[in-house]
Amino acid sequence: MPVEFLNPPALPQPEHYWQMSVASGSRTVHLSGQVARAADGTPVGDGDLAAQVEQAYLNVAAALDAVGGSFADVAKLTVYVVDWSPDKLPALGAGVGRAAERLGTDLRRPITLLGVAGLGEPDLLVEVEAVAVLP
């Protein structure tokens, strides 16, 4: 596996993500932000943050599959959430949990969560970028 995850003892030990990853593969994949759109462009989860998070994560996995990768190869995620506040954490977690269940894998990764005023289209509540390293 080209990506190893760890929480160094000198840093906080989070439950829902890793503090860092060490990549040793030979191909780096930089994936643009994925949003709540089906393959045909149809919006998914209107007004439902959990549903939109789930679809965005599924889109990340689908994109990686297209180049011979999987979520196991993801070294870093950046998640943008419209009008972020801590009360949105349960919906964010639910969406990630549902995507993890559907994909059959652990989706915890080093992550940066950013609150934003808006995204590219008015119905979007979340966008997920990924950097992956493949063998």
pLDDT tens across 31-72, in order? 999 999 999 999 999 999 999 999 999 999 999 999 999 999
pLDDT tens across 9-38, in order? 988 899 889 989 888 878 899 999 999 999
3-state secondary structure 37-71: ECCCCCECCCCCHHHHHHHHHHHHHHHHHHCCCCH
Q: Considering the domain delimited by 3-134, tell me its CATH architecture.
A: 2-Layer Sandwich (3.30)
Given a cut of 70, whether residue 6 has pLDDT beyond it is yes
- Per-residue tokens: 30: 């930089």
- Residue carrying the six token digits 């493949």: 134
Given a cut of 90, whether residue 119 has pLDDT beyond it is yes
Structural domain boundaries of the chain? Answer: 3-134
Q: How many CA atoms lie within 13 A of 27 on its CB side?
A: 9
| pLDDT for 25 | 73
| pLDDT for 1 | 65
